[in-house]
């Protein structure tokens, strides 16, 4: 197996979008080993605190390990600062954590989405060694990233309200994973607004 | 290098899209011709009219593309002399498949879509791989931007499974104007993320009244 194929070992699709004072983050639910599906209820989106979520595409084992380290670091931050971390700061933390392993990286491409001060939405993605990519519209990652780019580029519009955004991100996710062999089996969608968080599960094609 | 024959090929990029409707067919391709990070020209037509109701859009290697167009034109001329009529679109589709497969072990490095009207006047789209495997579909995209465009077309047009019995019609429910607008939208989107797609999109519409062509400007970066 070539090193870069490790990103395709389990298969994944992740997308995050910015709306009007809110954001949505969505992932597929498949966990596979190459072409064989192992689980159909896999979680790739993790909660850091009420207004901050991180999605980890790529190798599932590294995603879980990285998640544990991120939780650990956030707890230390909370103890020292007595407050929740800001999304921008958290993105720098993830980036630093990844770059620590510059020559033996975690095979993950994270997507970070959160509400910052004054509930301004923040989304960001980075490569497996921590090069940040801040976007003001949408970010994608995983094996279905090409499809997601195409679909999001067509469907995204600025300042969507939460319900409109749910429809958009769900359509984008489902259309994309249907053209990717390694991701699919439905999806998780998280809609985060200043007042509440809605978590919804999507049904999708089972092939 | 001596062992591989890759030096005989180049990838000049480009994206083609086609949509079939009940009484029309829309075929489109961008006009950028590039290699690597360079652009050769911003004004190269990848669409070729093969018969009265049949056009082909191709991407891939420009050299093979030109050779293929010439080859098909010559074969169509012979057909016209022998049969005293224009070739139908389904016939041209089979001919294109045979022509591609004839070079199975030294292929034309082209990714084609054939569009037109069948003998009933219904829109038809045929999509190909480089060695002649082909299928009649309701819509298709080929070339460098296909991965970006296909899921969008799936979302908007949804094709019935070819496994369904009785067989369902693959043509799209859209009107001609809506189909042309959709093509413009998907090209504008693909141009944002694919460096090999851009400059202009050439859209050819075939219906009962003939062939119409239009151009739309795309991003040039």
| DSSP code string of A61-129 | HHHHHHHHHHHHHHHHHHHHHSSPPPHHHHHHHHHHHHHHTTTS--SEEEEEEEE-GGG-EEEEEE-TT
Three-state DSSP class for A132? strand
Three-state DSSP class for B75? helix
Window B:86-145, CB contacts with A under 8 Å: 145
Are B147 and A146 in contact (CB < 8 Å)? Answer: yes
Q: Is the separation of the CB atoms in A125 and A141 below 8 Å? A: yes
Q: Tokens 């016939």 identify what position?
A: B91
The pair of structure tokens assigned to B181 is 């607008």
Q: Please determine, for residue B202, whether its predicted confidence score (pLDDT) is greater than 80.
A: yes
Minimal CA separation from A154 to chain B, in Å: 6
pLDDT band at B15 (very low <50, low <70, confident <90, very high): very high
Question: A179 to chain B: nearest residue by CA?
Answer: B151
Report in angstroms the alpha-carbon separations of B90 from A83, B52, B96, B127, B136: 68, 13, 10, 12, 9
Q: Tell me what pLDDT residue B158 has.
A: 85
Q: Please determine, for residue B1, whether its predicted confidence score (pLDDT) is greater than 80.
A: no
Are B152 and A154 in contact (CB < 8 Å)? Answer: yes
DSSP state of B10: -
Q: Tell me what pLDDT residue B4 has.
A: 62
> Helices A87-100 and A60-81 sit at what angle, rounded to 10 degrees?
130
In a 10 Å sphere around its CB, with 0-12 CB exposed, 13-18 middle and 19+ buried, how is residue A80 labelled? exposed
Closest CA to A11 of A195, A198, A185, A189: A185
Q: What mean pLDDT is predicted for residues B55-82?
A: 98
Q: Tokens 């293929």 identify what position?
A: B68
Three-state DSSP class for B5? coil
DSSP state of A154: H
Q: Please determine, for residue B159, whether its predicted confidence score (pLDDT) is greater than 90.
A: no
pTM for this predicted structure: 0.95
Q: Tell me what pLDDT residue A138 has.
A: 98
Q: Tell me what pLDDT residue A134 has.
A: 96
Question: Which residues in B lie closer than 8 A to residue A149 (C-beta atoms)?
Answer: 148, 193
User: Do you know the residue count of chain B?
Assistant: 221
Q: Is the separation of the CB atoms in A16 and A139 below 8 Å? A: yes
Q: Tell me what pLDDT residue A176 has.
A: 97
* Range with lowest mean pLDDT among A92-106, B129-143, B151-165, B180-194: B151-165
Q: Please determine, for residue B217, whether its predicted confidence score (pLDDT) is greater than 80.
A: yes
Interface test with B, best of A133, A137, A140, A150 (most B CBs within 10 A): A150
Three-state DSSP class for B88? coil
**Torsion sign across C-alpha atoms B37, B41, B47, B48:** negative
Q: Is A176 on the interface with B (CB under 8 A)?
A: yes
Q: Is the separation of the CB atoms in B59 and B142 below 8 Å? A: yes
pLDDT band at B92 (very low <50, low <70, confident <90, very high): very high
**Pairwise CA distance, residues A28 & A30, whole Å:** 6
Q: Is the separation of the CB atoms in B24 and B207 below 8 Å? A: yes
Question: A154 to chain B: nearest residue by CA?
Answer: B189
Q: Is A171 on the interface with B (CB under 8 A)?
A: yes
Window B:37-76, CB contacts with A under 8 Å: none
Q: What are phi and psi of A135, to 5 degrees?
A: -125, 155
Minimal CA separation from B156 to chain A, in Å: 10
**Pairwise CA distance, residues A38 & A32, whole Å:** 5
Mean of per-residue pLDDT scores for chain B:
95
Q: What mean pLDDT is predicted for residues B20-29?
A: 97
Minimal CA separation from B194 to chain A, in Å: 9
Q: What mean pLDDT is predicted for residues B91-101?
A: 98
pLDDT band at B95 (very low <50, low <70, confident <90, very high): very high
Q: Please determine, for residue A204, whether its predicted confidence score (pLDDT) is greater than 80.
A: yes
pLDDT band at B7 (very low <50, low <70, confident <90, very high): confident
Q: What are phi and psi of A52, to 5 degrees?
A: -145, 125
DSSP state of B164: -
pLDDT band at B167 (very low <50, low <70, confident <90, very high): confident
Residues linked to residue B207 through DSSP beta bridges, in sequence order: B24, B210
Question: Which residues in B lie closer than 8 A to residue A204 (C-beta atoms)?
Answer: none
Q: Tell me what pLDDT residue A24 has.
A: 98
Q: Tokens 């062992």 identify what position?
A: B3
Q: Tell me what pLDDT residue A86 has.
A: 98
Task: Say yes or no: ipTM exceeds 0.85.
Answer: yes
Three-state DSSP class for A200? strand
In a 10 Å sphere around its CB, with 0-12 CB exposed, 13-18 middle and 19+ buried, how is residue B104 labelled? exposed
Q: Tell me what pLDDT residue B65 has.
A: 97
Q: Tell me what pLDDT residue B3 has.
A: 53
Q: What mean pLDDT is predicted for residues A81-101?
A: 98
Q: Please determine, for residue B192, whether its predicted confidence score (pLDDT) is greater than 60.
A: yes
**Pairwise CA distance, residues B129 & A122, whole Å:** 42
Q: Tell me what pLDDT residue B166 has.
A: 86
**Pairwise CA distance, residues B20 & B206, whole Å:** 10
Are B148 and A150 in contact (CB < 8 Å)? Answer: yes
Q: Please determine, for residue A76, whether its predicted confidence score (pLDDT) is greater than 80.
A: yes
Neighbours of B5 (CB within 10 A): 9
């Amino acid at each position: 197996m070539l090193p870069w194929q490790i990103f395709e070992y389990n298969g994944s699709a992740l997308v995050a979008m910015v709306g009007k004072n809110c954001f949505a983050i969505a992932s597929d639910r498949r966990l596979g080993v190459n072409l064989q599906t192992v689980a159909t209820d896999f979680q790739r989106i993790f909660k850091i605190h009420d207004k901050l979520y991180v999605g980890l595409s790529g190798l599932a084992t590294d995603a879980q390990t990285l998640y544990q380290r991120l939780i650990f670091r956030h707890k230390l931050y909370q103890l020292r600062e007595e407050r929740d971390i800001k999304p921008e700061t958290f993105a720098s933390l993830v980036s630093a954590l990844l770059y620590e392993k510059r020559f033996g990286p975690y095979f993950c491409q994270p997507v970070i989405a959160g509400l910052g001060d004054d509930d301004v939405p923040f989304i960001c993605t980075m490569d497996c060694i921590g090069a940040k990519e801040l976007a003001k519209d949408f970010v994608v990652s995983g094996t279905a990233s090409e499809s997601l780019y195409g679909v999001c580029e067509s469907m995204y519009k600025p300042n969507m309200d939460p319900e409109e955004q749910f429809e958009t991100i769900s359509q984008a996710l489902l259309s994309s994973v249907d053209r990717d062999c390694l991701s699919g089996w439905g999806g998780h969608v998280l809609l985060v607004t200043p007042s509440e968080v809605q978590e919804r599960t999507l049904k999708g094609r089972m092939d | 290098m001596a062992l591989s024959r890759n030096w005989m090929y180049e990838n000049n990029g480009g994206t083609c899209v086609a949509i079939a409707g009940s009484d029309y067919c829309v075929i489109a391709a961008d006009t950028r011709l590039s290699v690597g990070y360079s652009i050769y020209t911003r004004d190269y037509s990848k669409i070729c009219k093969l018969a009265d109701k049949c056009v082909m859009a191709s991407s891939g290697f420009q050299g093979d593309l030109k050779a293929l167009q010439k080859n098909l034109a010559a074969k169509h001329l012979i057909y016209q002399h022998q049969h005293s009529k224009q070739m139908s679109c389904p016939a041209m589709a089979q001919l294109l498949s045979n022509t591609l497969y004839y070079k199975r072990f030294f292929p034309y490095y082209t990714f084609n879509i054939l569009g037109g009207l069948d003998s009933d006047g219904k829109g038809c789209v045929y999509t190909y791989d480089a060695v002649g495997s082909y299928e009649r579909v309701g819509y298709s995209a080929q070339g460098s931007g296909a991965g970006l465009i296909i899921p969008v077309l799936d979302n908007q047009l949804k094709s019935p499974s070819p496994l369904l019995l009785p067989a369902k019609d693959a043509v799209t429910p859209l009107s001609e104007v809506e189909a042309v607008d959709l093509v413009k939208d998907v090209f504008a989107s693909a141009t944002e993320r694919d460096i090999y797609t851009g400059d202009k999109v050439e859209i050819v519409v075939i219906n009962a009244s003939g062939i119409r062509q239009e151009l739309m400007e795309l991003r040039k970066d």
